Amino acid sequence: MKTDLIAALNQFFELVHADTDELRMHVYLLRYQVYVLETGFETDSDCRSGLDEHGHPILWEQDIFDERSDHYLLRHRRTGIYAATARLILPSPVDIVAPYPIELHCPLDKPVNDSDLRGRLGEISRFAVSKVFKRRIGELGSLAGVADDVEIYFEEDERRVLPHISLGLFAAVMRMVHQHGITHCYAVMEPALLRLLGRFGMVFNRIGPDVDYHGIRVPCITSAEEALPNIQKVAPSVWDLITNRGELLHTAN
């Protein structure tokens, strides 16, 4: 991809670190919109309830892993709508062997058991794109908003915002990885998203068989040390975007 993705992303979207209670509530409300209203992957009974600032009842999607997670939102500049969100689940501060969702729901061939590595392990999770930004046939049933035929994103004149959204969220993940000193990340990926990211040189190594959870999912692990050099080689513009032109190349150890 020859496009300056940083300029393209910044033209349409803004990365917002959800580092306040108010912004985190926007995360949970967007996840309710995507996981319950748009895809039906969860139900109202799976969600939490309360009142908004006007005293109206609301529902939001939140789980126990949010207590040890960092979050980002992607805001559409022109409308102010929050288009997408992702979180990075972090090591438990009180129990280094506390499980990640992937370890609870997937039969892993190669789980991370080393205690030192678990202290630098995260899980990319709750990667969700609003229906408003899913425009192509075949994407509406996808959490990440990616069609099965990823070749449609590589037409010469393709101007769709989807790659900016997906890659923008991975830029957000890289910022969280950098901030928290994470070196390795678990992820349970939709196959279409995995193929799309593979075309950008992103390396996700399978660590278990496919699981069927609202569709086929692939349990994977990746590391910045392995993934970033390959991304830089295959898709330099993507490397520029997710590392902020190299600023986030090194994570804290």
Contact criterion met (CB below 8 Å) for 176 and 182: yes
Give the mean pLDDT per block of 10 residues along the chain (253 residues). 72 93 96 91 93 92 97 90 95 96 95 96 93 56 45 40 76 95 96 86 94 92 93 91 83 42
For residue 116, how far is the Cα from the chain centroid? 24
Contact criterion met (CB below 8 Å) for 67 and 24: no
Amino acid residing at 96: I
Rg (the chain; Cα; Å): 17
Task: Supply the pTM of this predicted model.
Answer: 0.86
Contact criterion met (CB below 8 Å) for 123 and 155: no
Q: Residue 164: which H helix or E strand, with range?
A: helix 162-180
Write down the pLDDT at residue 136.
44
Contact criterion met (CB below 8 Å) for 48 and 62: yes
Write down the pLDDT at residue 142.
52
DSSP strands (E only) in the chain: 13-17, 48-51, 57-60, 69-76, 82-89, 121-129, 184-189, 205-206, 211-212, 216-223
CA angle 35, 37, 38 (to 5 degrees): 70
Contact criterion met (CB below 8 Å) for 232 and 248: no
Write down the pLDDT at residue 15.
95
10 Å CB burial of residue 61 (0-12, 13-18, 19+) is: buried
Write down the pLDDT at residue 163.
62
